[in-house]
Amino acid sequence: MQKTALLAGATGLIGAALLPLLLADARYAKVVVVGRRPVALAHPKLVQVVTELSELESHRLQLIADDVYCCLGTTRQQAGSKEAFHKVDFLYVVQLAALAASNFTSQFLVVSSLGADANSRVYYSQVKGEMEAAVGPLPFRALHIFRPSLLLGRRAHPRLGERIGATALALAGPLLRGSWAKYRPVAAAAVAAAMLRAAHTDATGLRVHEPAGA
């Protein structure tokens, strides 16, 4: 039986790479994209729900899906403040997960970050860890948490710090071995492909996906 996929964050680095994979997958009859801006793509399987993320509840019936892929994420600099960052990376993610659980979604697949830890002194890692802790108890058949390292790919709004960091890590990549291998930058397209593969396994319960060497 063909399924429905829901994607949040389709205009981001991983989401933009994941969307065409979902549309090309014959196991999905419909792909619903939810976000503040429409994607510039037309496809017979594609349904777009354009809304503020704070208004997800009012679109509950449009957001029913078997598999929900959450690729929401920003940075404090891009968001403009700690509060705005927290809304995107914690509040909206958790609200989407809760809505999906109440809609009896089978699987929830969410992008977190390497180093996610609710007790971290690094605010970014702390928020990611708190998000993981909040979605963990929700009653999904399977919850997949992806913790990539620094992402590689073409962003609509390049982040200078990430570009410098990616360049430095790419140069040092061959030297990052063993337990250090997890810090090698990873292509957003590779994360997107890993999310799709995970969704089509028979896994149940919580599954945390980290880079090799983590």
Domain boundaries, the chain: 3-209
Determine the pLDDT at residue 196: 98
Determine the pLDDT at residue 194: 96
CA dist., res. 213 & res. 181, Å (int): 5
CA dist., res. 152 & res. 191, Å (int): 10
Least confident of 77-86, 104-113, 122-131: 77-86
Q: How confident is the model at residue 209 (pLDDT cuts 50, 70, 90)?
A: very high
- Assess whether 123 carries a catalytic annotation: no
**Of the options 3.20.20.120, 3.40.50.720, 3.40.50.10490, 2.70.70.10, the CATH number for the domain spanning 3-209:** 3.40.50.720
Secondary structure (3-state) at 214? coil
Which position among 87, 128, 182, 183 bears the catalytic label? 128
- Assess whether 128 carries a catalytic annotation: yes
Structure pTM?
0.88
Determine the pLDDT at residue 205: 97
